[in-house]
């Protein structure tokens, strides 16, 4: 059960939110009542809500700044830059400042003039929660959460301040997410222009026409091998209602495709998404009067967000499982879903993740026991063990996903970018292409493979009828699995796999299959760990590991490689028999008890008495 602090704060939170919802509803009734966007400019925060000012100097390891993105609306962003972008020589001077045009010293962080000294980081788009009607990207809880994610994930966080309802109803908030994504693409193109001019006063980059300005932090700490920031490794993160926006932006990014180049969304994190529907789920029935949010409050928030003529809880913005989907789920990016046990929206988020896994999308689910909605982002709960553990889990998954995306994309993208930044490489590239064409004409394709260093394709395994298993490894303290290798079983394994669907077979074999696989792994555990550390650098910080397996069904290795539904193997302690445990407790009998003599063997005195009697 949640703690007493959570229960008391939940009552206060629900009271304040209900008052806000009733106030907004009454103001809409007094107005025109048309249900349309009455204020295109909109607002990004409620009057009276606490706001944390941005600090362009590094405070607690992170610097931040605000930027107004759209001149026709109130859309703005807040950039969080971790101090890991500083080099070794710059780490002692985190308050580098520069002078503006009027001679006033700028006290915030300014990138060095030599951009080659700057460290390059990926970017994360973050969308705050609040039921579409409250919250802000500059609120104390969102500011603290973004700072934590910037440091843990080692990314540049861009927190989006989208327009709130009912002043700006659907699709205003969703369109703001797409606008920020397009803005990032424009920043990438501006910084990659060959015809740019630098202003010495503030070292900002302008395009040839002077119509737009490249943001200094993004332009300086971008990766020259992939067009400014690692845009081919862009991650989306949404909290509560922000998760709905993140999912919408991810779907639009997939359907748009190359129109967003050089941006490529490679993953998204949905933290307790604000999903709903006309048909209630079990969690919505059980937790209809749950902590922080209840069913009535959620319905009222959706009425304020959706247009009156389009109000329907099965609206695509509210229910991701509606039949009229615009996108085939098999093209979706890897999605991590975070849910809480005492959250009424838990089952719908889990069901959406299951649909993604059925489409062979990497979509793990992290469920936290005794947790409530907003348990990892609420200001009073930010420093609880659950909130900190959740942030660590998200950081580990993001780093793993970014590492996988870097292997697939960075080498090819670096080749394209070098042509724009270094024209002298164009002739060399043309010569390489010419040589490649000549080699291909001779029927040899090895040079092209070595030139781009593409990862080798997965080898084809002939189906000999024997079962195959994918072996996984994870850190003992973290629940994320990493696939290691594919193992083929023999006749005994074939019998056990065939009997797993039979009640009598389950009773006879029980966990024999898992125990046999575990025995094989622990026999060569040192070699397996060496191979795992070479494949996954994240595991190098761990000391204890756990192993698991999945059965390759119907020859679908891709589905078996997904990190969901992995069966954990027993630890070495559980594999020990009764005799082994007795030996561990008493040690070897010969060493522990010394010389053991038979009970029937005669002593020396008894032998002498026997000899005297015989005489």
From the list 176, 343, 347, 393, the catalytic residue is 343
Place of tokens 């780093």: 399
- Given the DSSP bridges, would you call strands 197-198 and 365-372 parallel, antiparallel or unpaired? unpaired
**Hey, which residues does 567 pair with through a beta bridge?**
549
In angstroms, the CA 156 to CA 233 distance is: 12
CA distances (Å), origin 414, targets 186, 407, 417, 445: 19, 12, 5, 21
Taking a C-beta distance cutoff of 8 angstroms, is the pair 137, 107 a contact? Answer: no
From the list 176, 373, 393, 562, the catalytic residue is 373
Taking a C-beta distance cutoff of 8 angstroms, is the pair 306, 373 a contact? Answer: no
From the list 136, 240, 241, 290, the catalytic residue is 240
Is 565 a known active-site residue? no
- Given the DSSP bridges, would you call strands 156-161 and 122-127 parallel, antiparallel or unpaired? parallel
- Candidates 124, 156, 128; CA nearest to 141 is 128
Pinpoint the alpha helices (H) of 164-214.
Answer: 172-191
Is 422 a known active-site residue? no
Place of tokens 């204020």: 39
- Candidates 173, 179, 342; CA nearest to 241 is 173
Rg of the chain taking only CA atoms, in angstroms:
31
Give the H or E element holding residue 282: helix 282-286
Is 114 a known active-site residue? no
Taking a C-beta distance cutoff of 8 angstroms, is the pair 206, 193 a contact? Answer: no
- Candidates 334, 126, 119, 153; CA nearest to 229 is 119
Q: What backbone torsions phi and psi does residue 429 show, to the nearest 5 degrees?
A: -65, -40
Taking a C-beta distance cutoff of 8 angstroms, is the pair 51, 139 a contact? Answer: yes
Q: What backbone torsions phi and psi does residue 151 show, to the nearest 5 degrees?
A: -80, -45
Pinpoint the alpha helices (H) of 343-423.
Answer: 346-358, 385-421
Taking a C-beta distance cutoff of 8 angstroms, is the pair 489, 465 a contact? Answer: no
Look up residue 597 and give its two tokens: 């003599």
DSSP string, 202-258: T--EE-TTSS-EE-HHHHHTS-TTSTTTEEEEEEEEEETHHHHHHHHHHHHHHHHGG
What is residue 408's DSSP assignment? H
First to last CA, the chain: 87
- Residues catalogued as catalytic: 240, 343, 373
């Amino acid at each position: 059960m949640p703690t007493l602090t959570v229960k008391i704060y939940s009552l206060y939170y629900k009271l304040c939110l209900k008052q806000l919802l009733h106030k907004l509803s009454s103001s809409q009734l007094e107005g025109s009542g048309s249900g349309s966007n009455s204020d295109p400019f909109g607002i990004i925060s409620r009057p009276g809500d606490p706001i944390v000012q941005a600090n362009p100097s590094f405070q607690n390891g992170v610097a931040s700044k605000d930027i107004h993105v759209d001149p026709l609306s109130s859309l703005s962003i807040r950039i969080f830059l971790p101090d890991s972008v500083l080099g070794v020589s710059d780490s002692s001077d985190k308050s580098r400042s520069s002078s503006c045009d009027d001679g006033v010293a700028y006290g915030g962080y300014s990138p060095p003039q030599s951009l080659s000294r700057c460290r390059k980081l990926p970017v994360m788009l973050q969308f705050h929660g609040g039921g579409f009607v409250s919250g802000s990207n500059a609120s104390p809880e969102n500011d603290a959460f973004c700072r934590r994610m910037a440091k843990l994930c080692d990314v540049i966080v861009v927190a989006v301040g989208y327009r709130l309802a009912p002043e700006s109803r659907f699709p205003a908030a969703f369109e703001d997410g797409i606008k920020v994504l397009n803005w990032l693409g424009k920043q990438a193109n501006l910084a990659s222009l060959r015809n740019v001019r630098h202003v010495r006063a503030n070292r900002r980059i302008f395009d040839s026409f002077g119509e737009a300005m490249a943001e200094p932090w993004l332009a300086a700490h971008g990766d020259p091998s992939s067009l400014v920031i690692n845009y081919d490794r862009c991650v989306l993160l949404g909290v509560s209602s922000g998760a709905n926006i993140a999912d919408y932006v991810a779907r639009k990014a997939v359907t748009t495709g190359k129109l967003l180049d050089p941006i490529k969304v490679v993953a998204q994190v949905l933290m307790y998404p604000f999903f709903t529907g006309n048909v209630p789920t079990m969690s919505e029935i059980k937790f209809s009067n749950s902590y922080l949010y209840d069913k009535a409050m959620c319905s009222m928030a959706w009425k304020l967000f959706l247009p009156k003529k389009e109000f329907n809880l099965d609206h695509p913005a509210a229910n991701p499982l509606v039949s009229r989907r615009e996108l085939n789920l098999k093209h979706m990016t890897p999605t991590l879903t975070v849910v809480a046990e005492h959250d009424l929206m838990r089952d719908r988020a889990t069901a959406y993740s299951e649909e993604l896994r059925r489409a062979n999308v990497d979509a793990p689910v992290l469920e936290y026991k005794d947790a409530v909605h907003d348990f990892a982002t609420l200001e009073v709960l930010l420093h609880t063990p659950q909130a900190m553990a959740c942030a660590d889990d998200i950081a580990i998954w993001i780093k793993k996903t970014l590492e996988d995306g870097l292997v697939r994309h960075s080498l090819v993208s670096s080749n394209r970018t070098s042509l724009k930044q270094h024209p002298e490489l164009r002739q060399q590239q043309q010569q390489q292409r010419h040589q490649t064409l000549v080699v291909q004409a001779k029927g040899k394709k090895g040079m092209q493979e070595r030139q781009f260093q593409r990862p080798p394709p997965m080898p084809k395994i002939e189906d000999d009828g024997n079962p195959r298993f994918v072996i996984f490894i994870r850190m003992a303290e973290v629940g994320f699995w990493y696939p290691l290798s594919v193992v083929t079983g023999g006749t005994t394994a074939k019998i056990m796999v065939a009997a797993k669907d039979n009640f009598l077979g389950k009773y006879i074999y029980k966990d024999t299959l898992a125990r046999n696989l575990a025995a094989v792994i622990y026999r060569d555990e040192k070699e397996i760990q060496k191979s795992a550390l070479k494949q996954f650098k994240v595991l190098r910080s761990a000391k204890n590991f756990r192993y698991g397996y999945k059965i390759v069904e119907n020859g679908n290795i891709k589905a078996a490689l997904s990190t969901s539904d992995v069966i954990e193997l027993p630890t070495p302690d559980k594999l020990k028999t009764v005799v082994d445990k007795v030996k561990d407790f008493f040690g070897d009998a010969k060493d522990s008890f010394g010389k053991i003599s038979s009970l029937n063997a005669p002593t020396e005195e008894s032998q002498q008495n026997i000899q005297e009697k015989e005489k």
